[in-house]
Structure 1
């Protein structure tokens, strides 16, 4: 009997993108048994549009961020007994052969004890930040090291230790052992934390070179193996260096949601360090430096009182492990 596959899409107020994502899923050359959509508090007409669609399993909830959305989506898919759970945001559009290419790795498909991932393409470039490696023995910043183009060029299948949620296809047995993404993270580094738990439990993550998923851009008709090699060739002919994406921390006179997200990112990284790594000088120095950087940021801002409350709350949550995203948002909204 052929394994059952469900796609899980998390959406928040991006109906136009969601429509394209679902269309891309329905065009897959390998059958998807069902599509689960998690509506993260959308109020842009998403609910009304989905209710008129056939063949979708819909769940509604308040906005719990990406981490809460994927937690709910994987949980619901697991409860329904699917063998494979293919997850993505609403701005991800898999090439029509994406799922087929991932499952064509016959030397791997003998059980459901691993994860399959496609190559992420954005703006006609491979986004290497979505796939790479995490050391579970040595804490470092950034937490993940992106896969490089030389490794991607050599082989069709690569064993990696980190994958973002964009196109991650999870075997049922992994969910049974590892559990669900940490819903408390809300945004940033929840995929890192989940990858660490997957690795700690001895499971493998594989990157399939010929499987492609487009991120934030329209999917195009491609010949996957030729397309990826062409993108790698284009990358080699440019002088741009790979840089890590960071939250915009430019100076503002008043607190914005970017400040809240930055606090969540800081909180989540520190919590990962405290929970998954042995406390040592490296981690202690990182936390100390981060606190100093935070003080310097606050010193340059006009709305210091509220910003101090925001950072103190996020650091407290990181050290205690008692997360409250609502608390951070309440501080931001306080007059």
Structure 2
């Protein structure tokens, strides 16, 4: 593991500085946690408790509330009070949306709000994880070198969660990478993102643009990471920074685990193939034959998930409904990717 580059003080730690006077923190200024949540107040409360324990602390937390109808607002209010009372107070910003825009819309709004707040770094995460207390310090060395970083996660049982893949543009499909990717190095170059813990620099977000809310669910972080990788390195690093809090049924396929899903996710994993195709076209990487094969692989994986994990074929109709809608999206001739943002520098 990499050495953590932060200095201890009495109590909570602070970002390091050199010499007798505080100098510019450069690459480590304005670190924000950006959370997207929808109707999972109990998970959100645990996540915000873990944010309160982060040492060093972030400069702020943005909670994008996707029009939740449970006790999410009360949880955010309580966290605001809790984090304001810390020895190093952490501001909590409640960014409430008028309607549920899915994870994609939530992260799109969250990145925009973080940039508006002057964030230099945005740590993006769903509501059903918790942060490892020293996570920010652990990520610090890579913040000096890279603009897009994904740390490791533990699953709900405390075991390492498998996440190592590369996006195959011929298939339009992420392929798992066999073996120990950290056998010879503590960093692994990838070309996909993961909004369950991706750390993003503001320069990268401005260059690529906001996450595309049209995805709603699924493929959004894969395509966002791929677009980033066309401009700059995207790295998976050998530091455990998050715990997955939600237990899921799964089967072990040898090179990866396959978790349970939902009818909503099944619909969007197929529907969004149309958006994946449009992004490949926009970058001159679309191959009709390869993409059709990748779509067949996507459907096969989802059917295996249904049969192998959920022990049913109920829900397969949502796959076909999503595929039919993907055809409409794929046929559109007026599609435009999300535009780059103007730099404020």
Bigger share in helix: 1
CA–CA distance in structure 2, aligned partners of residues 185 and 317 of structure 1 = 11
* 1:317 aligned to which of 329, 333, 341: 329
Aligned pair 1:82/2:119, yes or no? yes
Aligned match of 1:132:
165
Q: Is the 8 A contact 1:30 1:99 kept in 2?
A: yes
Aligned match of 1:332:
none
Aligned residues: 282
CA–CA distance in structure 1, aligned partners of residues 298 and 118 of structure 2 = 45
- Gaps in structure 2 of 5+ consecutive residues: 1-23, 82-90, 301-312, 336-345
SS of 1:126's equivalent?
Answer: coil
CA–CA distance in structure 1, aligned partners of residues 280 and 179 of structure 2 = 28
| Structure 1 residues 90 and 152: CA distance shift in structure 2, 3 A | same
* 1:27 aligned to which of 41, 53, 58: 53
* 1:191 aligned to which of 211, 221, 227: 221
Q: Is the 8 A contact 1:274 1:319 kept in 2?
A: no
* 2:242 aligned to which of 188, 202, 213: 213
Residues 47-99 of structure 1: CA deviation (Å, up to 9, x unaligned): 13323433310111111111100000011101111111111000111211111
Q: Is the 8 A contact 1:11 1:40 kept in 2?
A: yes
| Structure 1 residues 89 and 158: CA distance shift in structure 2, 3 A | same
Aligned match of 2:190:
160
Aligned pair 1:97/2:134, yes or no? yes
| Structure 1 residues 76 and 311: CA distance shift in structure 2, 3 A | same
Aligned match of 1:176:
206
Q: Is the 8 A contact 1:101 1:208 kept in 2?
A: no
Aligned ranges 1:1-335 → 2 under 5 Å: 1-2=24-25, 3-52=29-78, 53-54=80-81, 55-61=91-97, 62-105=99-142, 109=144, 114-122=147-155, 123-129=157-163, 131-135=164-168, 138-140=169-171, 143-201=173-231, 203-217=232-246, 241-243=254-256, 245=258, 257=264, 260-280=267-287, 282-283=289-290, 285-286=292-293, 311-320=323-332
SS of 1:24's equivalent?
Answer: helix
CA–CA distance in structure 2, aligned partners of residues 306 and 87 of structure 1 = 28
Residues 245-281 of structure 1: CA deviation (Å, up to 9, x unaligned): 47769xxxxxx54553344344344444444453435
The normalised TM-score by structure 1 is: 0.72
SS of 1:211's equivalent?
Answer: strand
Residues 186-242 of structure 1: CA deviation (Å, up to 9, x unaligned): 0111011101110112x1122221233111359xxxxxxxxxxxxxxxxxxxx9602
Q: CA RMSD in A?
A: 3.5
CA–CA distance in structure 1, aligned partners of residues 298 and 151 of structure 2 = 37
- Gaps in structure 1 of 5+ consecutive residues: 219-238, 250-255, 294-300, 324-335
CA–CA distance in structure 2, aligned partners of residues 310 and 316 of structure 1 = 10
Q: Is the 8 A contact 1:28 1:99 kept in 2?
A: yes
| Structure 1 residues 119 and 279: CA distance shift in structure 2, 3 A | closer
| Structure 1 residues 93 and 259: CA distance shift in structure 2, 3 A | closer
SS of 2:183's equivalent?
Answer: helix
